[in-house]
Structure formats: structure tokens, C-alpha cells
Amino acid sequence: MPELLLLLLPVAWYFGYRVGLRALNEKRASGQSPTLRNYFVGLNYLLNEQPDKAIDTFVEMLTVDSETVETHLALGNLFRRRGETDRAIRIHQNLIARPSLAADHRKLALLELGQDYLSAGWFDRAESIFQELLSDPKHKLTSSRQLLTIYQQMGDWPQAIQVAEQLQAATGQSQIEMIAHFHCEMAEAALAANNLKSAQQSLKKAMSLNGQFVRGSLLSAELAFASGDYRETLKAYRRLKPEDIPYLAEAVGRIDACFDQLKDPKAKIEFLRECVEQGAGVTVLLALAEAVRTQDGDKAAGLLIMEQLRRRPSLRGLYRLVELFIANSDNKTRDYLEMLGDIMSTLIAKRPIYRCSSCGFAGKTLYWHCPSCKSWGTHKPIQGLEGE
């Protein structure tokens, strides 16, 4: 609250200045000054630490004319940035309602109002404002960018694609990667609705924009799996670029299911071993160890993990090794190992698996659209001892 008071002092000073001029004119005209009285009411609220009432009194007093429009806009902007969107909306609506407002100022106020609505989560209202401003060359780019944000938030991918293509044409900046993600979003939605044909069409568009696209490759495997083509699913995973192999952590369940369907556990071991050789992370290594354990027992699985840990140390690999030792040790040793296992399990539970290369947001889930910085395709598997 003291911060708000400090912030309001220059505002009160400015109002005092404006009010002084106005009060002088009113006094000359009628001998009385309601403006001056209201100013003192507002000042009184401010001094009594009632800034909300003070703000409303000041704003009501400030008549809209060509000189004060900028002040209204600045105040509205300030309120929005402070999270007071209701107040920002009131100020901008008040501005727009004035018939005397110049066309340029009206559009500026509309632009601000659209941003207020966006901050308040009223996407349909914000959308109609930015659509209206799209025809004005001065506001076209800003409106396009805001519309792009709105359509992404709403998950309206066809509209998002259209606006991103327009933005690309207007600025010359490539939006291809983002557009490819939008097509993938459509493909995933169609897949979830079991509309394989539509999913295939969207995926084809994504891949035509970005042929070596990790999300597209993983999705083409998902589609092949949904069609019951297990060999094609595995081929799609093999087509990943070497630097994208760590993303196979996402595919372990599918790989498992494919070989279960093909009833070929030996081929599964061979497939997973190749993936590990090519740089797949600890999730794939643990799947391989499990397949080896099923076929050749705990000792063979333990030896495999130990061999890999020497090459690429990993907390999760070590934990699995401890689990295998626990299962094969006597009572006394088991107690010690269980204590060690508990500590490691706590450590692992706190460690993220993916991190955004743009903003650093980290978690255990892979997001193609970063929930923090809203970038597309920036979440990467964390490599090294504590990661994948």
C-alpha cells in the first residue's frame, strides 16, 4: 500500500495542476469551484490512505480533451500493468464513449482496451477489437500479434495459422516452426478424436514445413501406432535425428507396446540397445535393463546398468542398480541399501526431466508450448547425472 501511495503522489500533483487551471476558469465564470472541492475530497482520501477512492475521484474529475487523452491512456496502462484490469477497462471505455474523441485517439484507446480484455481473459471481446484494428496500417502488426496470442490461448489453430502466415508475410520473419507446431496441435486433436485421416493431413502439412521436426517424427510414430502399424511406428522412431534421440524417453511405453504386439522380446532388446548406443537417455536404458532382466535375470540387468553408468553416470540408473541389489541381498545389507535407496528416490523425485532453453522453466512433463514463456519447441531433455 505505501508503494501505491508513492505512485499516486505525482498523479495527485498533476491533477492539482490541471484542477487549479480549471477551478480558476470555473471561479471566473460562476464564482464557485466544484472541481476544486472534488480535488480536495480526492486528496483527503489519499492522505487517509484510501488510494482506491482517491483514484476514482481523480479520474472522474479529469475531463477528456485532446490534452488529457494521453494521461488517461497512461493511467489505464498503469492500472493494467498493476493487475487492476477492471479499472483500466473503465478508463478506456470512458475514453472511447466520448463522441468528441479524435479517430487516432479512439484507435489508441481501443488498442489499450483490447489488451485489458486480453489480461482479463475475455478473449472474444479482445478478438473483435483487434480484428477491427487489423484494417488500420498503423495498428496492423500489433493487432496481428495480439490475435496470434488469443488464438493460441483459445486453441483455435486454423485461425492461428492464418494470422501467423499473415504476420510472416508482413514482417518477413519466419514463423515456420511455430506454424508447424500449430498443424501438430491439430493433428493431436484429430488423433484424440480418433479421426486418423484428418490427423494424417495435418501432420503432412507440418512435415512439409519442417521435415526434420522432432515433434512431427514422434507424432508420425503415434499415428502409425494408432493405425496398428507397429513396424512403421518403430521405423518412425529410428528416423529421429541424432540430436533428437534423447526425446525417445517419451516413446518407451509405445516401443514396449509395439514389441508386445509383435511378440518379439529379443528384437526389443536389440532395438533398445541400439537406441542407447545412439545416445538415448536413462529412461530408455532402464527399459532395456528391464527387458534384459525379464529374459536373463537380475544379474544380467545389473551388469548392463553398471557398464552404462561407467560411460554415462546417472542418478536414476544408480537408483535402479540399488533396487536390484536390494532384491538380491541378505537382511543386514538390505537395511543399509534401503536407506540409501530412500535418499536417492527423494533426490530423484525433486529433479526435473525437461527444461526450456528459452526461459529455464523446468519440470517432469514435456511441453511443446512452454507454459512460462510461451515459446514453441524449446523444452529439451536435461542431460547429465541428474537428468535424462
Q: Establish if 303 lies at the interface with Zn ion (CB under 5 A).
A: no
Least distance (Å) between residue 372 CB and Zn ion: 5
Contacts 24+ apart (CB under 8 A), 124-129: 126/150
Write down the residue that cell numbers 511455430 correspond to: 178
Single residue of 356, 377, 381, 388 touching Zn ion by CB under 5 A: 356
> If you write DSSP's letter for every residue of 53-118 in order, what string do you get?
HHHHHHHHHS--STTTHHHHHHHHHHHHHTT-HHHHHHHHHHHHT-TTS-HHHHHHHHHHHHHHHH
Nearest in space to 354 (alpha carbons), one of 371, 373, 367: 367
Give the x/- contact pattern for Zn ion in 123-162, rule: CB under 5 A.
----------------------------------------
Q: Which stretch binds Zn ion (CB under 5 A): 101-109, 142-150, 157-165, 356-364?
A: 356-364
Q: Establish if 367 lies at the interface with Zn ion (CB under 5 A).
A: no
Q: Which stretch binds Zn ion (CB under 5 A): 43-51, 89-97, 218-226, 360-368?
A: 360-368
Q: Which stretch binds Zn ion (CB under 5 A): 59-67, 273-281, 307-315, 354-362?
A: 354-362
Q: Establish if 373 lies at the interface with Zn ion (CB under 5 A).
A: yes
Instruction: Count other Cβ atoms within 10 Å, centred on residue 238.
Output: 14
> How many chain residues touch Zn ion (CB under 5 A)?
7
Single residue of 162, 198, 201, 358 touching Zn ion by CB under 5 A: 358
Q: Output 345 or 372, the one with its CB closest to Zn ion.
A: 372
102-135 burial, b at 16+ Cβ within 10 Å, e below that, comes to eeebebbbbbbbbbbbbbeeebeebbebbeebbe
Q: Output 148 or 224, the one with its CB closest to Zn ion.
A: 148
Q: Establish if 370 lies at the interface with Zn ion (CB under 5 A).
A: yes
Supply the DSSP symbol for 246.
Answer: G
Least distance (Å) between residue 354 CB and Zn ion: 10
Q: What span, in angstroms and rounded, lies between the C-alpha atoms of 225 and 213?
A: 18
Instruction: Give me the residues that bind Zn ion (CB under 5 A), please.
Output: 356, 358-359, 361, 370, 372-373
